[in-house]
Amino acid sequence: MAEIPLTLAEATEKAKELRTQLNQYAHEYYVADKPTVEDYVYDRLYKELSDIETEYPDLITSDSPTQRVGGKILQGFEKVTHEVQMYSLNDGFSKEDIYDFDERVQKLAGKPVSYCCELKIDGLAISLRYENGRFVQGATRGDGTVGENITENLKTVKSIPLELKKPISVEVRGECYMPKQSFVNLNKEREEAGQDVFANPRNAAAGSLRQLDTSMVAKRNLSTFLYTVADFGPMTAQTQFDALNELSEIGFRTNPEKKLCQTIDEVWAYIEEYHEKRSELPYEIDGIVIKTNEFTIQDELGFTVKAPRWAIAYKFPPEEAQT
Ligand SMILES: NC(=O)c1cc2c(N)ncc(C(N)=O)c2s1
């Protein structure tokens, strides 16, 4: 039976209700990894919203889930200067390197320090800026000072919130990556289409974010983990561990495998644990990032020209080729 068309007032109210519901379902699925409804429920509501927006295009908002499918053909990527530099990390390759790092840090800090340990995601570093809770700009790391504006492409990455849970202005950094299974599926498709395959998920993620057709990016099933706050705005965290929890509270996807370690022995145990678990993870990691947890100590230790004195990246040895 043909439905009676909604009036503008009814459509406005219904669209707002559907957007809120759909964005909540999408947050549960893509950010919290805890979906609460089946796909067909989401798809039905999505079609209802899409039909209303087709009937009343003025009702389309920047945070509508219909804006995630892309469809813009970009002419290129503008340059973006990072107000806060996107630093790189000093690397460590052995247990001795890690214990030497701890010795240096304890000496500089003049007291015992705790460490926040996180998985080193093998993807593409990105910076996300929000104004009054709205996603306004996304950029690549570039050389750490100047990156590329890939906002339109990042809007199609479902785990990147278009609207935060609080209307705050912040800048955050993290990694955009392609899950292992998505990488396998994509290369299978490309091989069947006679196209070149990607060497690894990092290259696949980087290649996807360089697409000028945003609808192509939307199909690549990219995801994110956020892990650094460059502009805190009203955020209150005083440690790295708390900052990760605060990032999650305001709507970002963060990696759940983090660990607060009180000693370097605990740090080394965590490194060994995840060297073992590496192959079971649904995404590629190439090491572990270790940071002094307290921001006051990070401020005291500061940076060398290249990298922070208060962090080190332990790099796993290359994985043995799968025979
Ligand atoms: N170059 C960098 O500063 C970092 C790079 C990465 C990476 N690839 N994955 C995770 C983290 C993290 N959790 O801090 C960092 S930090």
pLDDT of 2: 63
Distance CA 7, CA 48 (A): 15
For 49-92, the pLDDT digits (tens) are 999 999 999 999 999 999 999 888 999 999 999 999 999 999 99
pTM: 0.95
For 181-230, the pLDDT digits (tens) are 999 999 999 999 999 999 999 999 999 999 999 999 999 999 999 999 99
ipTM tops the 0.90 cut: yes
Query: Would the CB of 220 count as within 6 Å of ligand 1?
Result: no
Expressed in angstroms, the distance from the first to the final Cα of the chain is 60
Question: Active-site residue among 47, 111, 120, 306?
Answer: 120
DSSP letter at 28 equals: I
User: Which two three-digit tokens encode residue 161?
Assistant: 């919130």
Known catalytic residue: 79? no
CA 289 – ligand 1 centroid, Å: 6
Please calculate the CA angle 288-293-298 and round it to the nearest 5 degrees: 105
pLDDT of 321: 59
Q: Which residues pair with 175 in a beta bridge?
A: 125, 225
User: Which H or E run includes 220?
Assistant: none
CA 210 – ligand 1 centroid, Å: 21
pLDDT band of 137, cuts 50, 70, 90: very high
Residue 100 confidence (pLDDT) above 60? yes
Query: Would the CB of 227 count as within 6 Å of ligand 1?
Result: yes
Question: Do residues 269 and 122 touch, judged by C-beta distance below 8 A?
Answer: no
Q: Which amino acid, one-letter code, is at 35?
A: P
For 8-55, the pLDDT digits (tens) are 999 999 999 999 999 999 999 999 999 999 999 999 999 999 999 999
Residue 169 confidence (pLDDT) above 70? yes
Contacts of 18-26 with C-beta under 8 Å, sequence gap 24+, read 18/45, 18/48, 18/49, 18/52, 19/49, 19/61, 19/63, 19/64, 19/65, 21/45, 22/46, 22/49, 22/65, 23/63, 23/65, 23/162, 23/163, 26/65, 26/158
Q: Closest by alpha carbon to 20, among 61, 69, 71?
A: 61
Range with the largest mean pLDDT of 59-73, 255-269, 306-320: 255-269
Distance CA 97, CA 211 (A): 39
Percent of the chain with pLDDT over 90: 94
CA 215 – ligand 1 centroid, Å: 28
User: Which two three-digit tokens encode residue 70?
Assistant: 């892309």
Ligand 1 atom at shortest distance from the alpha carbon of 255? 13
Ligand 1 atom at shortest distance from the alpha carbon of 307? 3
pLDDT of 5: 83
CA 35 – ligand 1 centroid, Å: 27
Ligand 1 atom at shortest distance from the alpha carbon of 308? 3
Q: Which amino acid, one-letter code, is at 307?
A: A
Residue 272 confidence (pLDDT) above 70? yes
Average pLDDT of the segment spanning 141-159:
97
What is the pairing mode between strands 91-92 and 311-315? parallel
User: Which H or E run includes 115?
Assistant: strand 115-121
User: Which two three-digit tokens encode residue 173?
Assistant: 């950094």
User: Who's near 179: CB < 8 A, 6+ residues apart?
Assistant: 201, 221, 223, 282, 283
Mean pLDDT of the chain: 96
